[in-house]
Homo-oligomer: A and B are copies of this chain.
Amino acid sequence: MNYLTYLPVWDKLNKSQQDTLKNSAVKRKFKKTEILHNESADCTGLILVISGQLRAFTISDDGREITMYRLFERDICLFSASCIMNSIQFDITIAAEKDSEVLVIPSEVYKSIMEVSAPLANYTNEVMASRFSDVMWLIDQVMWKSFDKRLAEFILNESNIEGTDILKITHETIGNHLGNPREVVTRMLKYFVNERLILLSRGTIEIIDKVGLEKITE
């Protein structure tokens, strides 16, 4: 199985470029919680997810983490290969959230093809723009508007009020309480699900990590 066909532009590469990628890419397995790439590592290579789930995050000086984005099957991570571009002047850490299998493409190989292939360069642009959008959303909602705090507080309050960890409430109602559109509530609740703080099912929100929610409100 050639997992490189997961690249949407695979068919737009010529035979020689395809062969170069095939001969250099290496399959690797990572256990849940294992670190694939850390901030100090220079250039691990591009990571193409075959199966499992990865998390990209930064770590503060005092050890706090913040999730920038997640990577699922067929997703590719550029920032584990920051040396492919001079202008990538930041570092992230990537860890396996589930047992994962990935394909690592050496940075210099990818770079050499990207420099001559408009399709690969444009695909790389789209990947970066997509991550950029994730991060802008994070700035907007989590950091700047502190909507995460307000939502966590609201959930904890409701739980206290109702005397249960399973809340029967719609996203729309929460939005009305907090003055935010329903979609914003839904997106942040999904973020909480990813952070394993709550579970969502039709019409209910179940708190599974009260301490985690309380930490957010601090």
Contact = CB atoms under 8 A, between A and B. Distances in A.
A143 B145 contact: no
A159 interface: no
A127 interface: yes
A61 interface: yes
A118 interface: yes
Contacts of A89: 130, 133, 136-137
Interface of A is mostly: helix
A60 interface: yes
A88 B61 CA distance: 30
A148 to B, nearest CB: 12
A16 to B, nearest CB: 15
B58 A130 contact: no
Interface stretch (A109-117, A190-198, A201-209): A109-117
